[in-house]
Amino acid sequence: MADRNAVSLSPLTRLDLALALAVACASLALYVRTLAPGLLYGDSGEFQTLVYSLGMTHPTGYPVYVLLGRLFTLLLSGDPAWRVNLFSAVLGAWTVACLYLIVRLLAAWRLAAVTASLTLAIIPLFWYFSDIAELYVPACAFLGSVVLCLLRWRQSGKWPWLAASALLGGLGLGVHSSVALAAPGVLVYLALTTRARRDWLAAFGGALLGVLLALAAFFVLDAHNPDAGYYHATVEPSLSVWNMTTADFDSPFERLRFLYAARQFRYAMFPDPARTMPEIFGAYVDALKAGLAPGSLAWIGLGLVALAVRRWREGLLLFLGWGMQLFFITNYAISDVVVFFVPTFVFLAVWLGSGLGMLLDILAGGLKRLRWQRWTIPTAALLGAVVLGLTVRAMGGMMARAWAARAPVFMYGSEFAEYPYPLADADAVRTRAQAIVDAVEENAIVFLDWDLLFPCYYVAWQEGRPGIDFHETYPQEGVTQLADSTIAYIEANVASRPVYFLTRPQGSSMLRFDIRPVRRGGVSLYQVVGGQP
C-alpha cells in the first residue's frame, strides 16, 4: 500500500539502473585514462600521505574521508598515492550515476538524465578533481547521495530512505563542509513535506548517528596521530602564531575545536562581503562560461523555472543547497577559492537536466496536440542529438586531447597546471621529495613549504626513514617570520639533531643562530648549526 507521504516522481526501473551504471563506467574510463599517476604537491600530497598513514589533515580534519580512502586503498595493490587518486575517480563516477538518477526522478526523460550526467562528468574542474586526491569530488558524491536518498524517500514514503539521507549528511561533516551547507535546505524541505513523527525521528536519528560516526572517526585518527599528521607537521611547532601553548592543544577536545573552528583560515572568512561577494561571484560565472558548452546556462535557467513551476518543493531544496554554498564561497576570500565551485556543479547539472526535460515535455505536448504522437520519440532523439552534438562540438577537442595525452591537459594555462598536479612532468613531485629526503640525516628536522611537506613524509616513510621530522615553516597566511614556539623548538633540538630549512628563514629572531648554506645531491639547504651565547 502506498504511503500517504509519497508523491509521484518518475519511477526508476532496471533500465535506469543500467543507464546509471553506463554513464558511471564511461566517466570512470575517462578519469582512469587521465588519472594522476602518483605523488602530488600540496593538499593532494597531504591526503595521499595521511590516507596512507591514517593521520589528521588540515582543518577541518576530514576524518571520514581519510578512513574511507584507507578502506578503498586496501582493496587494491600498487602505489598508495595512485590508489588515493583512483578513489577520487571512483567517487566522481558515483556522482555522475547519482546525477542521472536524480534527474530521472525529477524530469522523467532518460535523455535529459543522460545528457545532464555526462555534462557534469566533463566539466573541466569536476573532471580534473576526479583525477587527483582531493575533497571536492568526494563532497559531490555525498551531496548527490543525500539528495538521491531524499527524493527516493519522497517518492516511496519509506522512512529508511530518509534515515539514509540524514546519515550521509551527518557523515559528510567528516568529508567536507560543503555537505553540511545542504542542511538548511533539507530542513526546509522536510518542514514542507511531512509532519509525521516517524519521518522526523528517522531524519534526526540518521543525522545524529552520522555526526557521532564522524566524531568517532575524528577520535580514531586523533588517537593514532602519526608524526606525518597535520598536528606534528604544522601546528605543534608553531602554536604561538595562534596565541596558543602546548597546554591549549593537549586534549582531543581542544584539537577538535581548533580544527572545526578553522583558526588557520579564519582570516579569510567574511572579511569584506561588499567586495568579495561580487568579485567571487564574477569569477564563478566566468568559470561556468569557460567550463560549459554553449547554451548550457540557458538550460540551467530553464531548469530553475521548470522545478519552480512543477516541483517547487524540490526546486527550493536544490536552490537553498546551491545558495548556501554560494553564499559561503563568495565570503571566503582565499586564493584558491575556485576549488569550492566544484560541489555546486551537482545542483547546476540537475537544473540543466530539468530544463532539457521541460523542453522535451513541451515538444511532446505540441506533437500530441497535432496528433503526431508517433513522432515524439524520433523528435526527442533528434533534439537530444542536437544538444549532445553541441556539447561534443564544444568539448570534444578537449576530451580528445586529454585522452591522447593521458592527462587533463585542458588545465594548461590555469593555476592548476603545475600545482598540485604538475602536468609537464608527473614524476616531478616524487623526484624533488626524494632528493630532499636523501640529502638529510636519519634524525634530521627539516622546515619547508606546504607544497613539499607531505610528499617528503610520504617518501621517507616508504623508504623506512621515520626518524626525519618535516615541518611547515610559515603555516599562517600573511605571517612570514618564525613563530616564537618554532624558535624554542629549534633551540631545544639543535644540539642533538641536524636542523635544516629549505629556504633561508626570515626575521630577526634567527640572528641568534648560525645559518650555513649547504648543498647535497643537488639540493640547497640552510643548516642551523647552533645558537649564539
Amino acid at 461: W
H or E stretch including 45? Answer: helix 42-53
Confidence of residue 382 (pLDDT cuts 50, 70, 90): low
pLDDT at 374 over 70: no
pLDDT at 490: 94
3 state SS of 339: helix
DSSP code string of 478-518: T--S--HHHHHHHHHHTTTS-EEESSPPPSGGGGGEEEEEE
- Average pLDDT score over the chain: 91
Each residue's pLDDT tens digit, 480-502: 889 999 999 999 999 999 999 99
Cell matching residue 286:
566566468
CA-based Rg of the chain, rounded to a whole angstrom? 25
Query: Is residue 376 within 8 Å of 392, Cβ to Cβ?
Result: no
Q: Are strands 523-531 and 513-520 parallel, antiparallel or unpaired?
A: antiparallel
Phi, psi of 59 (to 5 degrees): -55, 135
pLDDT at 477: 85
Residue 387: closest CA among 409, 366, 357, 416:
357
Q: In the sheet where 499-501 sits, what is the strand order? A: 469-472, 445-448, 499-501, 523-531, 513-520
Each residue's pLDDT tens digit, 148-185: 999 999 999 999 999 999 999 999 999 999 999 999 99
Each residue's pLDDT tens digit, 57-75: 999 989 999 999 999 999 9
pLDDT at 422: 85
pLDDT at 37 over 80: yes
Scored b (16 or more CB within 10 A) or e, 432-444 reads bbbebbebbeeeb
pLDDT at 1 over 60: no
Helix 80-107 and helix 14-33, axial crossing angle in degrees, nearest 10? 150
pLDDT at 251: 95
Amino acid at 397: G
What residues are paired with 412 via a beta bridge? Answer: none
3 state SS of 273: helix
Q: Residue 328, exposed/middle/buried by CB under 10 A (0-12, 13-18, 19+)?
A: middle
pLDDT at 433: 97
3 state SS of 80: helix
Residue 307: closest CA among 295, 290, 322:
322
Residue with more model confidence, 377 or 283: 283
pLDDT at 449: 96
Report which listed range, 260-264, 361-365, 370-374, 439-443, is most confident: 439-443
Each residue's pLDDT tens digit, 386-416: 776 777 676 778 888 999 999 999 998 888 8
pLDDT at 155: 94
Other CB atoms within 10 Å distance of the CB of residue 352: 32
pLDDT at 506: 78
Query: Is residue 170 within 8 Å of 217, Cβ to Cβ?
Result: no
Query: Is residue 438 within 8 Å of 496, Cβ to Cβ?
Result: no
Query: Is residue 54 within 8 Å of 226, Cβ to Cβ?
Result: yes
Report which DSSP code applies to 448: E
Query: Is residue 524 within 8 Å of 496, Cβ to Cβ?
Result: no
Residue 486: closest CA among 426, 528, 451, 442:
528
What residues are paired with 101 via a beta bridge? Answer: none
Question: What is the average pLDDT across 459-467?
Answer: 93
pLDDT at 314: 96
Rounded to the nearest 5 degrees, what angle is found at the Cα of 462, between the Cα atoms of 41 and 456?
35
Q: Are strands 499-501 and 513-520 parallel, antiparallel or unpaired?
A: unpaired
66-70, 228-232, 253-257, 394-398: least confident range: 394-398
CA distance 90 to 32: 9
Strands (E), 144-208: none
pTM: 0.94
pLDDT at 2: 45
